[in-house]
Amino acid sequence: MIKPHGSEKLNPLLVSDANRNKELQEEGATLPSLLLNSTAAANAMMLGAGYFNPLTGYMNLEETISVSKNLHMKNGLFWPIPIINITKDISGLNGKKRIALRDPNITENPIIAIMDIENIELVTGEQMQTIVKEVFGTIDISHPGVATFYSLGNYLVSGKIEVLNFSYFKNEFPDTFKTAQQIRDEIKDRGWKNIVAFQTRNPMHRAHEELCHMAMERLNADGVVVHMLLGKLKKGDIPAPIRDACIRKMVELYFPKNSVMVNGYGFDMLYAGPREAILHAIFRQNMGATHLIIGRDHAGVGNYYGAFDSQEIFDNRVPKGSLKIKIFPADHTAYSKKLSKVVMMNEVKNHTKEDFIILSGTKVRQMLNEGIAPPPEFSRPEVAEILMKYYRTEEIN
């Protein structure tokens, strides 16, 4: 099986030993606390689940600047986006060396990790702008990822962590949320050698479905892991439980049996385009995938990135040998009226835009809101029904 990124063996930071976990919970109740923001909590989830292997905690300012500018940590490890705990209020942390990190996503704010503080550093306005510009490619606060980052604070709290639980993800998504090791174990049990990962933050339409079929066929893959984001998105995106239901229905009806694993991970979408595409590749390698599908404007938002920037960065900024996982670059896929099937648009000749069935997200949402099913060439009817039911319920509420 493909090796994890940066190490021979996966190093998840979850404390799985029950006795040790209980000891840390009890210790945490006596320690000073820091209430995490959602971004820092999401990073803890990914560290705990092994997706951010081989990191052992939150990066300090020197590492953050190095990763932002050079895509490398000080020890030479290739890494595309700073994994940090940045906060507004450090009033209770001065002089403290060990603290409890508390969950912002559950009402009682339970402890989710114990942290050994390495340093607490003020990030200057100039440094913040450098980080944002390098990671997101823009400092425009209309960009949702930039706006979120600037809202988090300017004190960087770095150090190693031990993760005690997976917040609400295990309870709310018991059949979908999986750690990197759990996915590796299932891949091994299935005997898969070539594994394609498909990243999604949306319900899968016909074009996405066919893209998975294409990748599996062309790569001679044993199976595909549809790996959906379960954390926070932007306003207007479809909630995770609805996406989960749509994807499972599509897999049940339109893929060969035992050819797809449907899993999810607890992270917040960054909308960082090319840099986030590399991060997606790293944690898919950590979960055992040999290939990741990278389509048009992967992990992008609005018009901040070029259509193929998230593919080209693997040629332009990823040093040879830095990653073991490979990408499957894809163009936009759509239903061809001429050929009566879904195709990759750059692979067919004698087609104009009018020869394809292409619907914008806005148009699809409008149709669903009005109780109109998108055409079957765009969306499987069984999937469309789930989405229409959701929109009808939203309208009532």
- Indicate the pTM of the whole model: 0.95
Mean pLDDT across 27-56 = 98
Superfamily of domain 18-170: Sulfate adenylyltransferase (3.10.400.10)
pLDDT at 395: 54
Summary mean pLDDT of the chain: 95
pLDDT at 201: 87
CATH code that applies to domain 172-396: 3.40.50.620
pLDDT at 238: 84
Q: Where in the chain is the domain with CATH 3.40.50.620?
A: 172-396
Tens-place pLDDT, residues 321-380 = 999 999 999 998 999 999 999 999 999 999 999 999 998 877 888 898 888 999 999 999
The neighbour count for residue 201, using CB atoms within 10 Å, is: 17
Choose, from 98, 190, 201, 365, the residue flagged as catalytic.
201
Question: Which strands make up the sheet holding 260-265, listed edge to edge?
Answer: 260-265, 223-229, 195-200, 291-294, 326-329
Please indicate whether residue 201 is annotated as part of the active site.
yes
pLDDT at 397: 45
Q: What are φ and ψ of residue 17, in 5° steps? A: -70, 120
Choose, from 194, 202, 248, 365, the residue flagged as catalytic.
202
Q: Where in the chain is the domain with CATH 3.10.400.10?
A: 18-170
pLDDT at 231: 84
Tens-place pLDDT, residues 107-161 = 999 999 999 999 999 999 999 999 999 999 999 999 999 999 999 999 999 999 9
Q: Which residues contact 318 (CB under 8 A, 6 or more apart)?
A: 71, 78, 278
pLDDT at 391: 87
Residue 48 near residue 250, CB atoms below 8 Å: no
